[in-house]
A and B are shown apart, each in its own frame.
Chain A
């Protein structure tokens, strides 16, 4: 059994997109170590509701690290101090008795705050809609291994496809750049024969959308890959650059 801990929680509260926000402080008592971070917020919200106060608004859905909704910036890290894990996979045993835990929303011009800790991440959907799909007819389900794909290539494509579109890379980036996300989406297709057909069109469309939406220019600081809950590598960014430069050279 994990020990129970008591700590101070500083949470960003903001009534709406235009409202001025501020931190509010809450004292949390005797929270068991095996409580997840989001369950801890549930406990707090229940208290707030019982006291007739507005509960804290935060995004969440699957609570098992696959939907990418739980966009919380905890103690200076997107998804908190754990590596390779989302906020919903973060447990209170990571923190010590008497700690002060600061919770902020993603802060980037591309992800405006909707309320409290919830931000608007439709920009990612727009980038995805610009080309993150295969639109050719690939026919019916082929026999297994009818199209041979090298093990290492398949692995790299799978690693890129692990991206859950959570936006931690943008939240971590001092340049507000979405390159890690876009490069993962470009790579998962560019590596495979079904995706190669439209690779040039795709990379140009997705980069153009990313730029149009005002995301920054990547300067390779590597903060994104350090904070990515799915450990997506910046080698994908090199591939994106390569694909983009090749496509533009062809024009």
Chain B
């Protein structure tokens, strides 16, 4: 199968899974912005998605994309290190047009997946997961069940904690670097590029990616400083990591 056996095919898999994830991020970011303007509105979206079949199919699809992207990332990196050989140059000088991100995609990706783990722990484990468990007939605390669609509440609770706000900021920064290289690289891999479009794709990518990251970051900032609708939420118990200090 050429998507596995050939170098170009493997890159196509990286590219398509990456672009699909970017599209998802675009949707997720737009949805999150609602929380700044209306907490009820945001919770309605959470309710609408919840553990309905389409949300579950979507989640499973996303999980598959992340796994494929992750597995291929390691496979490609291992092959590339082997192709490079064990002898390193004594002197290396990076040419000007080579971006830092392009040479550190794996490290950036690892930060992204660690952030994803934290994110699932903060939100998904309190929202979709208990609802699914409940549907499967398992016992879930009433207090937890009452809050499964309270996305705004979890946002406020998580981001009032400075440690979480800082960790999410690092996560978003890593994602920004990953995607500023990733976006045009994916287009290049698919072969939809030439001398003229090269600069255009780069600009389009930078705009889309920066908007995505700024959108997510706005919610972190609004949560931390209690701005907009998020300021109306009383945070009773601070998020777990802050319990000892706050």
Contacts and interface: CB of A to CB of B under 8 A. Distances in A.
B11 interface: yes
A228 to B, nearest CB: 10
A219 B91 contact: no
A67 interface: no
Contacts of A219: 11, 76, 80, 102, 105, 185
A247 B139 CA distance: 54
Classify the secondary structure of A's interface with B: mixed
Interface in B116-166: none
A6 B6 CA distance: 49
Interface string A91-118: 0000000000010100111100100000
A244 interface: yes
Contact of A174 (B79, B80, B195): B80
B95 interface: yes
Interface in B198-236: 198
Contacts of A248: 2, 6, 9
A217 interface: yes
Given A104-B91, A210-B7, A245-B8, A220 B97 contact: no
A66 interface: no
Interface residues of A, number: 52
Interface in B75-128: 76, 79-80, 82-85, 87-99, 102-103, 105
B147 to A, nearest CB: 43
Interface in A208-223: 208, 210-211, 214-223
B84 A239 contact: no
Interface in A193-251: 207-208, 210-211, 214-223, 225-227, 233-235, 237-246, 248
Contact of A215 (B83, B88, B181): B83
Classify the secondary structure of B's interface with A: helix
B51 interface: no
Contacts of B92: 76
28 contacts: A75-B91, A75-B93, A76-B91, A76-B92, A104-B90, A104-B91, A176-B83, A177-B7, A177-B80, A207-B7, A208-B6, A211-B7, A216-B82, A218-B11, A219-B76, A219-B105, A221-B98, A221-B99, A222-B95, A222-B97, A223-B94, A227-B95, A234-B188, A239-B191, A241-B188, A242-B191, A244-B6, A246-B191
Given A76-B89, A227-B95, 15 more contacts: A23-B90, A102-B91, A108-B83, A108-B85, A113-B87, A207-B6, A214-B83, A216-B79, A216-B83, A217-B83, A219-B185, A221-B99, A241-B190, A245-B191, A248-B2
Interface of B: 2, 5-12, 76, 79-80, 82-85, 87-99, 102-103, 105, 181, 184-185, 188-195, 198
Interface of A: 10, 23, 73, 75-77, 81, 102, 104, 107-110, 113, 172-177, 179, 207-208, 210-211, 214-223, 225-227, 233-235, 237-246, 248
